[in-house]
Amino acid sequence: MAFTLSALIFPNLHLTYIHILRFQNRVTQEMASLQDIGMSAAINILSALSFLVAFALLRLQPINDRVYFPKWYLKGIRGSPTKSGGLVKNVVNLDLKTYIKFLNWMPAALNMPEPELTEHAGLDSTAFMRIYLLGLKIFIPITLLAFVVLVPVNWTGNTLERIKDLTFSNIDKLSISNVPPGSNRFWAHLLMSYVFSYWTCYVLYYEYKTIASLRLRYLASENRRPDQFTVLVKNVPPDPDESVSEHVEHFFCVNHPDHYLMHHVVYNANNLAKLVAKKKSLQNWLVYYQNKHERHPTKKPTTKTGLWGLWGSRVDAVGYYTAEISKLNQEENAERERVASDPTATVPAAFVSFKTRWGAAVCAQTQQSSNPTIWLTEWAPQPRDVFWDNLAIPYVELSVRRLLMAICLFLLTFFFMIPIAFVQSLANIEGIMKVLPFLKPLIEKKVVKSVIQGFLPGIVLKIFLILLPTILMTMSRIEGFTSLSSLERRSAEKYHLFILVNVFLGSIVTGTAFQQLEKFINEPSTEFTKTIGVSIPMKATFFMTYVMVDGWAGVAAEILRLVPLVMFHLKNTFLVKTEEDREQAMDPGCLDFATSEPRIQLYFLIGLVYSVITPVLLPFIVVFFAFSYMVFRHQIINVYDQKYESAAAFWPQVHKRVITGLIISQLLLMGLFSTKGVAKSTLLLIAQPIMTFWFHRLCKGRFETAFMKLPLQEAMVKDTLEKATEPNLNLRAYLKDAYVHPVFKGGELERPVAIDEEENSPLVATKRNSYRSSRHDSDASSEVGV
């Protein structure tokens, strides 16, 4: 499917495929055997065990304590290991009893109850862990049922041996390909398909319901936060007589007179932020050279003035960076004054705060003007969740940016099929020997051959995907999303599409087509469709190796934290002078939703597609979900420090993507059945995607509003309770600096003060010349700006 679509849209890409296909046609094909899968499993299990043992030992050493338990340090609960007993004891754990229990982190990761986990790490972390639980709830029963019903049906089919010149392995005998065309055995697959789809939807429904309830309870019980009272207003219309700040204040005093409290206009401080970031980088270098000079007072450190210190004249490093920081201070002060005084530096947007949550909810969830393109309101992100760089983008420019990024995503997704095709060709031993004949003696060795076919394709594909998340996040930033959480959700959407097209569909089409090329070219159309039906389940061996490389060894490598470990000790050696420096040297990391969640969705997709076609793959999926649940729960408890808290706002996207995987599996099964001489049963499968889509719409209407809007009833309850428990709360002081740009905090930026004395007046002061007439009753309607 992906091959046909790309061929129609990109003729040159189609020619590339044809060229590769012709090359592959000149060699003999060979599928990965049970020995290859066994070799891959052995390598990845040993790799995972090595990572786990290394982690279990490294985490016990006092010198690594801040690397493997940074979250407790950030919370102020954990202190540095004891310094009594000499230098050796501060570096190496000499208590032999602790090594006996070096695997006690596993039960500890599972023992923390979910409510305590939510209080400790936030609802986002809890909901993320429930994605792994969702996988276990879906696939454990499906695996058991598939092995009881489908595996015996497939194994006794005895069909593959009867097809001449078709390459297959013993694993393929456990797939649907081994069932004779037109056989009544396909009724078992059809029935199991309905059972698996029903069970998946059942689990999804109750998980959606549970997460929605958890979100509402979390929001109801949560402590006071600035975003509960604040709305982000964008596309403020220009006014010839008033500044943006005055215009915003006037509009909300007129249209929300009983609830408006204050506002912060948004400034285009991107250049100032760059200067601040540059100064911070220079200060880090200054600290480094000062530390170096303190260790060797007789020798002054030097550096080159060129880029990264690689060229230019050599100068005294401390004096050079001190002078550079002094220059940046002057530039920063000048830029700060420019932003404060230049009207063009004010963006037509503002954070507007209200006296109550109810007032904020009404404003955020209603249309403010008869013109739907101005006075656009939405819930403000948390202050730490705001992506300040994108607040300065004009509204009209946003539409253009998003259109361009949609085109770029489409091109990136389909042109990336070329390296994917190359990766799949690596699975062919003869192809490698054809290109690199001098490696033939080495490759022909049995062990090396098994390693290449069972291990190499997955690891090379993984390397290809390393740089992709950075590209997709940059594209999301260009699109103009104004919060880190929305940026990650949007990047996750792109990443999921990319994985779906290139990793899943691309792997099936290119890899399988190469392996069965001779039959594609030489056989008539009737036999061609049969070969397609056989070839899809044959790709299960590739996904087995991919799951083991990425889902077993890859997850185990995550808990080792090798890069943060090395970086911490480098910083601790060269930069750290105080405890504050040491805390800044820690890199706790966080749950990277933009890449982690789409990766999980790939396993959902693989499991759902092959649950009926090749059930033997399902245990690999179950192991991934179980192992990942334990590892990431440990990381959430002890390591990760989340950059924001969205109260599980991402769950509707999680649900939608699992539904997408389910529908894809149903459509592929329909296509497979059409090649098996059971056309009547294919008609019975048509109802599945239709009912699944209806189920998605049902869940969307039933639960999605809980993730998009705050019920006014809940807002009123919290406001009433707060008024009763804290009658003297000074909300203005609480919100005063909440939505001030970080580069202005502590700076001398003059900010507008909201009007208090007008609260008891029926009229609102304005500087508009057009309003200094007798038409005072037209204030509200005139603010529309149409």
Could you read off the pLDDT of 649-694 as tens digits, one per residue?
999 999 999 999 999 899 888 878 877 777 677 778 889 999 999 9
DSSP state of 386: B
More confident residue, 618 or 674: 618
- Looking at the fold, whether 533 and 659 belong to one and the same domain comes out as yes
- Looking at the fold, whether 233 and 193 belong to one and the same domain comes out as no
The verdict on residue 192 lying in a domain is: yes
- Looking at the fold, whether 321 and 195 belong to one and the same domain comes out as no
How many angstroms separate the Cα of 11 from the Cα of each of 6, 17, 90? 8, 10, 64
Domain boundary among 381, 408, 432: 381
Whether 169 contacts 641, CB under 8 Å: no
As beta bridge partners, residue 379 has: 231
* CA-only gyration radius of the chain, Å: 31
Which range in 135-139, 238-242, 523-527 is most confidently predicted, on average pLDDT? 135-139
- Looking at the fold, whether 210 and 299 belong to one and the same domain comes out as no
Q: Which one-letter amino acid corresponds to residue 700? A: K
351 sits in which H/E element: strand 346-354
- Looking at the fold, whether 274 and 361 belong to one and the same domain comes out as yes
The verdict on residue 447 lying in a domain is: no
- Token pair 């194994």: residue: 155
- Looking at the fold, whether 507 and 530 belong to one and the same domain comes out as yes
* pLDDT of 17 strictly over 90: no
The verdict on residue 698 lying in a domain is: yes
**Counted domains in the chain:** 2
- Looking at the fold, whether 214 and 249 belong to one and the same domain comes out as no
More confident residue, 229 or 455: 229
The verdict on residue 720 lying in a domain is: no
- Looking at the fold, whether 612 and 632 belong to one and the same domain comes out as yes
Q: Which one-letter amino acid corresponds to residue 373? A: T
The per-residue pLDDT for 515 is 42
| pLDDT, tens digit (0-9, with 9 covering 90-100), for 79-97 | 766 454 455 666 777 777 7
What's the domain range around 290? 226-381
Which range in 173-177, 532-536, 750-754 is most confidently predicted, on average pLDDT? 173-177
The verdict on residue 680 lying in a domain is: yes
* pLDDT of 251 strictly over 60: yes
Whether 49 contacts 551, CB under 8 Å: no
The verdict on residue 748 lying in a domain is: no
Separation CA 194–CA 247 (nearest Å) = 59
- Looking at the fold, whether 275 and 197 belong to one and the same domain comes out as no
DSSP state of 378: E
Q: Indicate the pLDDT class of residue 778, thresholds 50, 70 and 90.
A: very low
- Looking at the fold, whether 694 and 549 belong to one and the same domain comes out as yes
Q: What's the predicted TM-score (pTM) here?
A: 0.81
Percent of the chain whose pLDDT exceeds 70: 77
Between the two ends of the chain, the Cα-to-Cα distance in Å is: 48
More confident residue, 88 or 618: 618
Domain boundary among 648, 681, 708: 708
- Looking at the fold, whether 674 and 545 belong to one and the same domain comes out as yes
Domain boundary among 642, 677, 708: 708
More confident residue, 568 or 446: 568
The verdict on residue 778 lying in a domain is: no
| pLDDT, tens digit (0-9, with 9 covering 90-100), for 686-740 | 899 999 999 999 999 999 999 988 889 989 999 999 999 888 889 999 998 889 8
Q: Average pLDDT, whole number, for the chain? A: 79
What's the token pair of residue 445? 């060795």
The verdict on residue 729 lying in a domain is: no
- Looking at the fold, whether 187 and 233 belong to one and the same domain comes out as no
10 Å Cβ neighbour count for 730? 9
* pLDDT of 524 strictly over 70: no
